[in-house]
Each structure stands twice: as structure tokens, then as C-alpha cells.
């Protein structure tokens, strides 16, 4: 079966779902296309009403949705509850602000009247990952639907129950049939979906490799595309940083979601004056993390989502150690049922090690020691990725100066990198292009149409 719910805590199969053939995919996209034509004529007030009702239902059934997330991909239950709440917040945000964001802009020209109108594109194909199986979908769906588009979801194959639950909550909230559709197709059918005349744009959150394939297909068929791909976020700690705050946040940022986050802090770049003391405090806090059942609210580290992810992570760690990195703590799998890996720190990571060049998607922090601020900035940018970044310093004016030169979609100063409906989110370089969230996010999938009147 192409779609299987495997419990990462036990490794056991929960439920399997048969995949669709190409004919069923074609019919679903045709239905979405027809439904969108009517939805585009629906008032902003009606669209907002659906989003507000969706937010209400998400909050009312938060624990049920959170349990599905935890069951399918191993996220801590309390983190899953927060994810559901965040989905409700993005629905409320676009319900409140969407109409204003899409209000026509009057422009003075040689016309008697001219303006830019923002019109829906049509059906947006969303290819989404497993690591935030509700949030990634809602941050694309809420603005797309508010703008008058339809959304067809190709979700990750290991979270089918999450995908179907999201479809159901939209339907139960009054969204007309066909405007949000879960496509139970395999990766090989995505190219055909993009090629369909009933699909008008594509958004993908996932790996760099997947992004290249989707972008190539979208380009071939002249479809608008937004990509949010991997990251290797620098966490730069300067000599005057508040080390207690920095190490607390370092643990939260690196080990949230068992380290399976594109915007997790991944490279801890330390100047000499604080390197040893930062690492001492960091190690103590990492070693104090409690590993266990993600359904237990006292657990701080759950399993990785899949066995192959753990296997790859450990190969990256062992290769890096063989190449000169130093294992400070952890750096091995846990001998128990499920896909657990010890929370880990690798020190003395250099350009000779695999961990320097690749994204480590799991509970492993890498420490890079640098000569000073200029070296820290150079190394922060010495990566193919450019998603998030953070700087830690009591001299915030100096930190802002450095932030201007970091090649990333965002820089947080003395704070943990996160997404927020009010702020644009996305990357540069191999981390993708386009923006989600905020006013920019809803503008990605509309036609900015000039209207000129004599």
C-alpha cells in the first residue's frame, strides 16, 4: 500500500490506504477545477466564515487531532497540540486580514482610472511533508482558500490519517465539496498532476531533491511554483551573549520535534571567548532531556518518524566522527522498540566532515568553533541553504549589522527561529523561493491584474 500509518514509537503498522490510479486523480482535479470556478465568485465574507469555523473546530477537537499527529509521525503530544492551535491561528489570521490584503490598489496613470486587482489563479497543488503534518498544510491552504483558489493536497505517504482529517475538518466547516481534496497518489504521479490543465500552481515543502523535481516540472508546464526546502540554520553565539538564554533556546530549537524541522538550529557557531562555557552548559541541558513515549507529557524526546531517517542520521554522525568530529554526548541509536536516537552533540565539526556539508534532520547538534565575528559570518553563509538563522549578543545594534549580511530568509536576534502568520516565511539559495504567510503569502497565488479605464 502506498499510504501506510506506521507508529514510530512501536514500529507497528496502524492502517494502510490504497492509492489512486491516474483516472481517479484526473477526476478529482476536474472536480476541484469546477468547484473553484464557483468559489472564485464567493464573497470574502463567506470565505472568512469557513476559515473561522475551521479554527473553532480545530480548537474544539485539538486533542483528537494531536493524537493522530503523534500516532503517525511521533511528535510529542504537547507539541502536536500546539501545532493544531497554530493551524487555528492561521485560519483566523487570514479570515481577518485576507480581504484587506487582496483589496485592489489604485494606481495613477494616463487612464481615467487604473488599478491592480488580485484574482485567484485556480487549483493549487500542495505537495507537503510529514514533519509538521497539519501546520505545513494549513499555512498553504488558509491563504489559498481565502484568495478564492482550490487546494489539492498530495501529502507525505506516512501521514494519510492526518491528510484525511484535515480534509474532513474543512468539509465539516462548510467548505464546498472539491475545494480541498486529499490526493492519495504516489510521488511518481505528481508530475502528471502538475501537467494537468486543471492545476494552475504548485507549492512544495520538502527536500531539495524533491524541490528540484517539482520546480522542473512546474517550469516545463509554465505553472507558478513556491518552494520551501531544507535548511542548515546557523546559531551564532558572540562573546557578549547571555549564555543561559542562548543554551536554553539552543536546546529548544535543536530538539523540538526530535530535531526534524527545517528551521531548527543546526550549526552552533561559537566564537572562542564563550565556546567552552557554552558547550559545557549545552551538554548538561541536552543530557537532561527525557526520552520516551511521545504520548506521555513528561517526555522531551520522542522517536524519529521513520526507520530510514534514523539510519541515515547515524551514518552522517559516524562518518563525521571518522572524519575528525568529536562525540560530546549521545551519537547512537537507542536499543528499544521504535525509531529512537539519543539527543546528541558533535563538536569540532570542520569542512572535512560530512556534518559540515549536509543537513542533519534529527536530534543531533553540531558545534563549529570559529576565530571571531567575521569568521562566524563567513561560515554561516558557507552552506547551500538559506532558510533561518539566529544571532546571540547583548549588543543588538551590532547583531543587526551582522544580520544584514546573513544569506537567509530570516534572522532572529536573541530568539528562536519560528514561523508566524504575521511574518513572511521562506528561504533563499537551495532552501527554495517564494514566501508563505503574511500579506506576501496570500499574494503568491493570485493574478496581479492591471485594469485600465479611459
Report the CATH number that the domain containing residue 287 is assigned in CATH. Answer: 3.40.309.10
Strand partners, 368: 269
Examine the domain organization and report whether 278 and 399 are in the same domain.
Answer: yes
Examine the domain organization and report whether 79 and 164 are in the same domain.
Answer: yes
Examine the domain organization and report whether 267 and 126 are in the same domain.
Answer: no
Q: How far apart are CA 445 and CA 25, in angstroms?
A: 22
**91 in catalytic set:** no
Examine the domain organization and report whether 138 and 256 are in the same domain.
Answer: no
One of 91, 225, 258, 262 is an active-site residue; which one?
A: 262
Examine the domain organization and report whether 196 and 282 are in the same domain.
Answer: no
Examine the domain organization and report whether 126 and 93 are in the same domain.
Answer: yes
Tell me which DSSP letter residue 387 carries.
S
Q: What are phi and psi of 127, to 5 degrees?
A: -105, 110
The three-state secondary structure class of 406 is: coil
Cβ-Cβ contacts under 8 Å for 71 (sequence gap 6 or more): 5, 7, 14, 161
Asked if 369 and 348 count as a contact pair (C-beta separation under 8 A), the reply is yes
Q: What are phi and psi of 254, to 5 degrees?
A: -75, -35
In the prediction, which pLDDT does 2 show? 76
Q: How far apart are CA 100 and CA 97, in angstroms?
A: 5
Cβ-Cβ contacts under 8 Å for 135 (sequence gap 6 or more): 83, 86, 87, 90, 419
Q: How far apart are the first and last CA of the chain?
A: 60
Examine the domain organization and report whether 180 and 225 are in the same domain.
Answer: yes
Domain assignment present for residue 300? The answer is: yes
In the prediction, which pLDDT does 380 show? 98
- Which domain CATH number covers 215? 3.40.605.10
Cβ-Cβ contacts under 8 Å for 99 (sequence gap 6 or more): 44, 45, 48
Domain assignment present for residue 421? The answer is: no
Domain assignment present for residue 257? The answer is: yes
Domain count, the chain: 2
Domain assignment present for residue 242? The answer is: yes
In the prediction, which pLDDT does 1 show? 58
**262 in catalytic set:** yes
Examine the domain organization and report whether 288 and 190 are in the same domain.
Answer: no
What distance lies between CA 170 and its chain's CA centroid? 21
- 260 vs 74, 194, 214, 253, CA distance in Å? 11, 28, 22, 10
- 168 vs 54, 57, 58, 161, CA distance in Å? 10, 11, 11, 10
Domain assignment present for residue 225? The answer is: yes
Examine the domain organization and report whether 244 and 215 are in the same domain.
Answer: no
Asked if 267 and 299 count as a contact pair (C-beta separation under 8 A), the reply is no
Examine the domain organization and report whether 400 and 256 are in the same domain.
Answer: yes
In the prediction, which pLDDT does 374 show? 96
Question: 102: domain range?
Answer: 3-229+428-453
Q: What are the average pLDDT values for consecutive 10-residue runs of the chain, which has 454 residues?
A: 89 95 98 98 98 98 98 98 98 98 98 98 98 98 98 98 98 98 97 98 97 98 97 98 98 98 98 98 98 97 98 98 98 96 98 97 98 98 97 98 98 98 98 98 98 97
Examine the domain organization and report whether 204 and 280 are in the same domain.
Answer: no
Asked if 215 and 203 count as a contact pair (C-beta separation under 8 A), the reply is no
One of 72, 208, 228, 359 is an active-site residue; which one?
A: 228
Domain assignment present for residue 247? The answer is: yes
Examine the domain organization and report whether 407 and 435 are in the same domain.
Answer: no
Domain assignment present for residue 237? The answer is: yes
Amino acid at each position: 500500500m502506498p499510504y501506510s500509518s506506521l507508529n514510530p514509537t512501536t514500529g507497528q503498522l496502524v492502517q494502510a490506504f490504497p492509492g489512486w490510479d491516474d483516472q481517479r486523480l484526473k477526476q478529482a482535479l476536474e472536480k476541484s477545477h469546477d468547484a473553484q470556478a464557483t468559489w472564485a465568485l464567493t464573497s470574502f465574507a463567506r470565505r472568512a466564515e469557513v476559515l473561522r469555523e475551521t479554527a473553532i473546530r480545530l480548537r474544539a477537537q485539538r486533542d483528537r487531532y494531536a493524537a493522530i499527529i503523534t500516532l503517525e509521525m511521533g511528535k510529542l503530544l504537547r507539541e502536536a497540540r500546539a501545532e493544531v492551535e497554530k493551524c487555528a491561528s492561521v485560519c483566523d489570521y487570514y479570515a481577518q486580514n485576507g480581504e484587506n490584503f487582496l483589496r485592489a490598489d489604485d494606481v495613477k496613470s494616463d487612464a481615467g482610472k487604473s488599478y491592480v486587482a488580485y484574482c485567484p489563479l485556480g487549483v493549487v497543488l500542495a505537495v507537503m511533508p510529514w514533519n509538521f503534518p497539519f501546520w505545513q498544510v494549513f499555512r498553504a491552504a488558509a491563504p489559498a482558500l481565502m484568495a478564492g483558489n482550490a487546494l489539492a493536497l498530495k501529502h507525505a505517504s506516512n501521514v494519510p490519517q492526518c491528510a484525511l482529517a484535515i480534509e474532513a475538518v474543512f468539509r465539516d466547516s462548510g467548505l464546498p465539496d472539491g475545494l480541498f481534496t486529499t490526493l492519495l497518489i504516489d510521488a511518481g504521479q505528481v508530475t502528471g498532476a502538475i501537467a494537468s490543465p486543471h492545476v494552475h500552481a504548485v507549492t512544495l515543502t520538502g527536500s531539495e531533491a524533491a524541490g528540484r523535481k517539482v520546480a522542473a516540472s512546474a517550469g516545463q508546464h509554465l505553472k507558478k511554483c513556491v518552494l520551501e526546502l531544507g535548511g542548515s540554520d546557523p546559531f551564532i553565539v558572540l562573546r557578549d551573549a547571555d549564555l543561559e538564554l542562548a543554551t536554553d533556546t539552543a536546546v529548544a530549537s535543536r530538539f523540538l520535534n526530535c530535531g526534524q524541522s527545517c528551521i531548527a538550529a543546526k550549526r552552533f557557531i561559537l566564537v572562542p571567548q564563550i565556546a567552552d562555557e557554552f558547550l559545557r552548559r549545552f551538554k548538561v541541558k541536552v543530557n537532561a532531556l527525557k526520552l520516551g513515549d511521545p504520548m506521555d507529557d513528561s517526555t522531551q524526546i520522542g522517536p524519529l518518524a521513520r526507520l530510514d531517517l534514523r539510519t541515515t542520521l547515524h551514518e552522517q554522525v559516524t562518518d563525521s566522527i571518522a572524519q575528525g568530529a568529536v562525540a560530546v554526548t549521545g551519537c547512537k541509536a537507542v536499543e528499544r522498540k521504535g525509531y529512537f536516537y539519543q539527543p546528541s552533540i558533535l563538536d569540532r565539526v570542520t569542512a572535512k566532515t560530512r556534518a559540515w556539508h549536509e543537513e542533519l534532520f534529527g536530534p543531533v547538534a553540531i558545534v563549529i568553533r570559529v576565530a571571531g565575528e567575521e569568521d562566524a559570518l563567513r561560515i554561516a553563509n558557507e552552506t547551500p541553504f538559506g532558510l533561518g538563522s539566529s544571532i546571540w549578543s547583548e549588543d543588538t545594534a551590532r547583531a543587526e549589522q551582522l544580520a544584514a549580511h546573513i544569506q537567509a530568509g530570516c534572522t532572529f536576534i536573541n530568539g528562536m527561529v519560528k514561523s508566524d502568520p504575521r511574518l513572511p516565511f521562506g528561504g533563499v539559495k537551495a532552501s527554495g523561493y517564494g514566501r508563505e504567510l503574511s500579506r506576501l503569502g496570500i499574494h503568491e497565488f493570485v493574478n496581479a491584474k492591471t485594469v485600465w479605464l479611459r
